[in-house]
Amino acid sequence: MFPFRVRSVRWEASVLAVLGLLGAFVAGAPAAAPSPRAAHVRAVTDVPGTPGSTTPLSAYAIRSTAEVPDAAALVSAPGYRTAGWHPAGSRSTVLAALVADGTHPDPFHSTDQQRIPAADFAVPWWFRAEFTVADTGARTYLDFSGVVSAADVFVNGEQVATASAVAGAYTHHELDVTALVRAGANAVAFRIKPNDPRKNLTMGWLDWLQPPPDQNMGIVRDVLVRRGGPVALRDAHVVTSLALPSLASADLTVKAKVRNETAEAVTAAVSGTIGSGITFRRDVPLRAHETKTVAFTPADTPQLRLERPRVWWPAGMGAQELYELDLSVAVPGAGPSDRTRHGFGVRSVRAPLNKDGARQYSVNGKPLLIRGAGWSPDELLRWDAAYTEDRLAYARDLGLNTLRLEGHLEHDEFFDLADRYGILTLPGWQCCTKWEGAVNGTEAGEGWTAADHPVARASMAAEAARLRDHPSVISFLIGSDFAPNAEIEKGYVDALEAADWPTPVIPAASAKSAPLTGASGMRMPGPYEWVPPGYWYDKREGGATGFNSETSAGPDIPTLDTLRRMMSPAELTSLWKDPAAPQYHRSPSRTYSTLKVYDDALSGRYGPPTGLEDYVAKAQLAQYENVRAQYEAYARNATDASKPSTGVIYWMFNSGWTSLHWQLVDRYLDQNGAYFGAKKANEPLHVQYSYDDRTVAVVNRRTAPVSGLTARVSLFNTDGTRKYDRTVTGLDVGGDGARTTALTVPASVDGLSTTYLARLVLTDADGREVSRNVYWLSTRRDVLDYTESNWYITPTTAYADLTGLRSMARASVSATATTSTGTGTGAGTGAGTGTGAGTGVGAPATSTTVVTVTNTGTGNTPALLTDLHLVDGKDAPVLPVRWSDNQISLWPGESATLTATYRTADLHGSAPRIRISGWNTPTATVPAA
């Protein structure tokens, strides 16, 4: 990660103390620290005088205005006593701080969030901090965004901005407070207004999760104290133009604004470097208080034409090469005046509409199928860099190449990590709130007033300037469910053009259009609720054609370990016994308040659950097959001549809290059937079965073609008796997502039981197994009623019969495991997965456990969906962990060797163990030291 900001030692110490309070949030546990209401809460940041330094305020003292009778001039004066106030981190909502200091219970467990009174957040709250400067020779600015929802701002007893000016979570503000700053202690206070996403251009949670009672009011991005000299340097960025298709050269244009802050004319010397080999400089005359845009182009600076540039590629397509721009300005006689540094990448993104009107992305001239999922931040908007990197490493482990951010546009560090991991991002504004209130008819979100338009334009300008140089960002979606009207769209487009926005602008994530940006090329037909695996293969509704921007089969039931952490015993009983019971951990939406559709399908296909463990086991089977089918169908259809699939966003990748739906990975980073179904479907070289036409295909996501492959397809009754077996040799498949069909399974096979198993094995030219895929299928198919489809579901009128799985004999499985510990290779599970990803000096040590699993049975019965969990001495899962494969199915005599990589410290001093379980495998635990 590039060193964007200079932080003082005192800031580091302060933030470590705050993170000590917040550290429990990943586990969802309440903080152990008692409420310090009787203590004086200190929030002081040392700010250097170095021109170009940007120092975040390290922490705040916060309190409800209902409890603070003093005037703003007193509250914002240096030395004001904050006894009885609450400590808050540098990026914090009100509720995040109150949970961290023990004032309120853990909102992630059971229904404890309902115990937090929403009335406490119906009035403004003070966020107060102090900073010290040794001298006032440098100019001083407050630089910030991320205020939810609006704030009056005060410095040293004086108001410097009103809430009407500081409105909107994404608007950027720079307040020159030089005249107010004094040597020594200085105070800044924000009086934060309550948030209502229906009324404010901020952030909301829609139907994703139970929204926090404070609606995320607070300051959720850094407030920077910026120091500078007589000339300010702003808006620095790099416009890249890559030669296609050769990639042989790239033209760079470096732009920035220089601003004379004095009342006299000056000549500013602007100089810069890119990497270690490119330097440039120019003198810029400026009149008093003049601002000029400076541009260095290959025409006047030939070294900005790169020959054989280091090109940035998405994960799986090449290396994630990054450059760094270092730009500074100086004034003769006054020395350095300002400086900025940040990374950028050289790559090209295009996304024209294909002949069917679908958006088709290409990067560096190579078309790619978008295989993505929807990203969610923490419900309380708490930031944890390691936790974020862990999730991005999981996304890469799953074979995903894209994450969609609908609102909740994350911190700079998120996009830095996405750049390093090669994960493409699709940021955009949020539906069903104020953002679409002017165009969404009767849905949530109030209509716009004249005051909303400048806030929206300023939000777009600020986010465009922040995101444009990140190579991972491949579009901006200015609409989600609805496209903006002409006036709103023009405000957005003008702001994007002014910022030199380099990638396609999409009018909506749904099948809408707008006057300037045209048709979206995307669609949003659902589903969001359970449908059977075969649904995904039809080229209608949400099936595999075009670009589906958000879709899944709804619920994703976590593992037993996670369920027992997040729900009470009574809730767990209700979970499996009562399909019609409202589930607090599903959604606040009445559409999704219960699990009835999902539970009816689970019972109809697999048989009624007999207990919690049986319910969860069936859920893992159902989620594995469904998620796998969704990604496999889109992969199979990507190269079709007619109506090909071009992109799919699984809704969602993760949840911001402890959830029962819309997640490939749960809150605690545990991995269930949904996770491993996605991982299997997205493996680089993959053999797969199609539910609609029974074809067996090989999909190759590697860049190079592969030849000499052999595919073997076997069908078995549930007792393990083989009823069909065919081998096809000499298969060749191209690269970059190409597909070849190996064979078609017969429509009828003599002696095949109603429930049966299909085993697909792909070997390379040397006979090595490169892909194995096992399906549980039925001669009785699921029946869909498309005439009753709506925006969230296509009903199923008859279920496939998978109840035969209940009669499978118990399988005997053994395992041996060994563990080795290495040096630090990364904070996340992405260690060693790509250029620059997961590496760093002082990174935590990692361990690797190698497990060999064998079906030791003497009969024919396979061990179906055998799950391995790495656990510590207390039988608690060690998370995060990256498995080479998991939830595997083995026939008698077969073995598989799997690896698990994880942070050694997450064992908490105990020896590692492997817990083995499966559909028809008794649970056992073996040592792995």
pLDDT computed for residue 842 by the predictor: 61
Residue range 64-75, pLDDT digits in tens: 999 999 999 999
Could you give the strand order of the β-sheet that contains 218-219, starting from the edge strand earlier in sequence?
A: 92-93, 218-219, 147-148
pLDDT computed for residue 29 by the predictor: 36
User: Given the DSSP bridges, would you call strands 546-551 and 266-274 parallel, antiparallel or unpaired?
Assistant: unpaired
pLDDT computed for residue 6 by the predictor: 28
Identify the band that residue 34 occupies on the pLDDT scale cut at 50, 70 and 90: very low
Average pLDDT of every residue of the chain? 93
For residue 522, pLDDT over 60 is answered with yes
Q: How many CB atoms lie within 10 A of CB 320?
A: 25
778 Cβ contact list (under 8 Å, min separation 6): 605, 754, 755, 756, 800, 801, 802, 804
Residue range 839-875, pLDDT digits in tens: 444 678 999 999 999 999 989 999 999 999 999 999 9
Average pLDDT over residues 211-238: 97
Whole-number Å distance between alpha carbons of 36 and 34: 6
H/E element, 601: helix 596-606
Could you give the strand order of the β-sheet that contains 769-778, starting from the edge strand earlier in sequence?
A: 722-733, 706-717, 755-763, 769-778
Cα angle, residue 226 at apex, residues 224 and 230 outer, rounded to 5°: 165
Helix, strand, coil percentages for the chain (3-state, nearest 5):
20, 35, 45
pLDDT computed for residue 277 by the predictor: 87
pLDDT computed for residue 843 by the predictor: 75
Closest among 639, 633, 634 to 738, alpha carbons compared = 639
Q: How many CB atoms lie within 10 A of CB 184?
A: 12
Strand segments, DSSP code E, in 66-106 are 86-89, 92-93
User: Given the DSSP bridges, would you call strands 125-133 and 44-47 parallel, antiparallel or unpaired?
Assistant: parallel
pLDDT computed for residue 19 by the predictor: 34
Residue in the block written with tokens 């139907």:
207
pLDDT computed for residue 314 by the predictor: 97
User: Given the DSSP bridges, would you call strands 231-242 and 158-161 parallel, antiparallel or unpaired?
Assistant: unpaired
Backbone angles phi, psi at 66, to 5 degrees: -65, -20
Residue range 240-282, pLDDT digits in tens: 999 999 999 999 999 999 999 999 999 999 999 998 889 999 9
Three-state DSSP state, 302: helix
For residue 8, pLDDT over 70 is answered with no
Pseudo-torsion of CA 463, 469, 472, 474, nearest 10°? 70
Tokens of 290: 């003049």
Tokens of 13: 């110490």
Share of residues in the chain with pLDDT > 70 (%): 94
Cα angle, residue 853 at apex, residues 848 and 859 outer, rounded to 5°: 175
C-alpha Rg value of the chain to the nearest Å? 28
pLDDT computed for residue 356 by the predictor: 97
Tokens of 593: 């308040």
For residue 828, pLDDT over 90 is answered with no
Alpha helix stretches (DSSP H) within 734-808? none
Please give the positions annotated as active site. Answer: 481, 550
Q: Is 611 exposed, middle or buried (0-12, 13-18, 19+ CB in 10 A)?
A: exposed
For residue 21, pLDDT over 70 is answered with no
Q: What is the DSSP letter of 661?
A: B
pLDDT computed for residue 12 by the predictor: 33
Average pLDDT over residues 435-459: 94
One-letter identity of residue 888: I
Residue range 155-194, pLDDT digits in tens: 999 999 999 999 999 999 999 999 999 999 999 999 999 9
pLDDT computed for residue 441 by the predictor: 85
For residue 23, pLDDT over 90 is answered with no
Strand segments, DSSP code E, in 411-494 are 424-428, 476-477
Share of residues in the chain with pLDDT > 90 (%): 91
For residue 830, pLDDT over 60 is answered with no
Three-state DSSP state, 487: helix
H/E element, 732: strand 722-733
Q: How many CB atoms lie within 10 A of CB 185?
A: 14
For residue 334, pLDDT over 90 is answered with no
For residue 150, pLDDT over 70 is answered with yes
Task: Count CA atoms within 13 Å of residue 899 on its CB side.
Answer: 10
Q: CB–CB of 336/330 below 8 Å? A: yes
Identify the band that residue 444 occupies on the pLDDT scale cut at 50, 70 and 90: confident
For residue 832, pLDDT over 50 is answered with no
pLDDT computed for residue 276 by the predictor: 83
Whole-number Å distance between alpha carbons of 708 and 704: 13
Q: How many CB atoms lie within 10 A of CB 267?
A: 12
Q: CB–CB of 509/477 below 8 Å? A: yes
For residue 554, pLDDT over 60 is answered with yes
Q: CB–CB of 76/165 below 8 Å? A: no
Task: Count CA atoms within 13 Å of residue 581 on its CB side.
Answer: 13
pLDDT computed for residue 43 by the predictor: 82
pLDDT computed for residue 61 by the predictor: 97
Average pLDDT over residues 476-486: 97
Answer whether 0.85 is exceeded by the pTM: yes
Identify the band that residue 651 occupies on the pLDDT scale cut at 50, 70 and 90: very high
Average pLDDT over residues 690-700: 97
Instruction: Name 250's bridge partners.
Output: 242, 306
Closest among 783, 787, 600, 796 to 691, alpha carbons compared = 783
Q: CB–CB of 496/476 below 8 Å? A: yes
pLDDT computed for residue 302 by the predictor: 96
Residue in the block written with tokens 């599903």:
586
Identify the band that residue 37 occupies on the pLDDT scale cut at 50, 70 and 90: low
Q: How many CB atoms lie within 10 A of CB 831?
A: 23
Chain centre to alpha carbon of residue 22: 20
Average pLDDT over residues 789-814: 96
Whole-number Å distance between alpha carbons of 9 and 875: 39
For residue 24, pLDDT over 70 is answered with no
